[in-house]
Structure 1
């Protein structure tokens, strides 16, 4: 009986002493990566709208409008517009890939398609707000994005956001793609 109690006490102390995500220092890039994940997650709403209305997934005019907008914000925030444009190109490509994935899933299983979809204009307002957050976070973390620790900070932020947002097998690689050029 004493052995069981001793082992139980040791196990309790070991578990209590184990580091957890909450005790690890948070990456300064979590707010940026979280905004990127939230922006990616709008892909389900956009895809649902386009699927219901029969609209095309690809929208080069809208994509260029976004790139023009974020590069203008970058200039206002005194950061490299070409860098911001490249980051958002990856973000857009990841988002469009999620939309294509959802279309394929719903085509193969129409019962899985959403019954309703929010208005595209409403979802785009959310996207535009998140674009602003992302550009402002890039400006705020400009030194971190150019530091030797950047890759580790991005990886740590991705892990934190994947866990916090419970991102699935579609969104995890999309987030990795969207953030792949963060380190300058």
Structure 2
């Protein structure tokens, strides 16, 4: 195995470990911390998913999988008193942000083939993590529903994103993805 490929494999294993780890600071004073951290963890699955798709030749966009996810989160949201339109809009943004990271990874690997992954976790393992995070996100929508629909949502969301992005050491790509993933969280403005 070449040094670049070894680094790529090590990076994929590290990413998988980071995503499956517990939140960095579960006791944050920010009320939307748990919600934003779950969204951030879900974004972090993009690297492992992109590596799998790169190696298998799978497409980044998967309309059938998107439908399964949106149907599941809508059903979960409805059972928790969260409107299905809200959940669908939020998860559409989350999926778009995740796909954008995957496209960025593909672009990087096209520019520098030596940095491309030589191994990746099985897609079913990543999807299992994603499904669990989807459930956590919907659960947090329900818990934080009054705040999410109040004028205080915007400042609370901004504060939580700042803390989470800092703790997870997000680069510009991931910070932009987190902004995209959470952009519909505060429908009241």
TM-score range, shorter chain: 0.7 to 0.9
Q: How many residues align?
A: 161
- Aligned pair 1:101/2:104, yes or no? yes
1:152 is aligned, of 139, 155, 158, to 155
User: Can you give the 5+ residue segments of structure 2 that lack an aligned partner in the other structure?
Assistant: 1-24
Q: Secondary structure at the match of 1:170?
A: helix
Q: Give the structure 2 partner of residue 30 of structure 1.
A: 33
Query: For each residue in 1:105-152, what CA deviation from the matched residue of structure 2 results, as whole angstroms up to 9, or x when unmatched?
Result: 001101111221000000000000000000000000000101111000
Q: Give the structure 2 partner of residue 8 of structure 1.
A: none
User: Can you give the 5+ residue segments of structure 1 that lack an aligned partner in the other structure?
Assistant: 1-21
- Select the structure of larger CA radius of gyration: 1
Asked if 2 retains the 8 angstrom alpha-carbon contact of 1:42 and 1:127, the reply is: yes
- Aligned pair 1:170/2:148, yes or no? no
2: distance between equivalents of 1:178 and 1:36?
Answer: 7
2: distance between equivalents of 1:37 and 1:112?
Answer: 24
2: distance between equivalents of 1:79 and 1:157?
Answer: 21
After TM superposition, what 4+ stretches of structure 1 lie above 6 angstroms from structure 2?
none
Asked if 2 retains the 8 angstrom alpha-carbon contact of 1:26 and 1:157, the reply is: no
Q: Give the structure 1 partner of residue 64 of structure 2.
A: 61
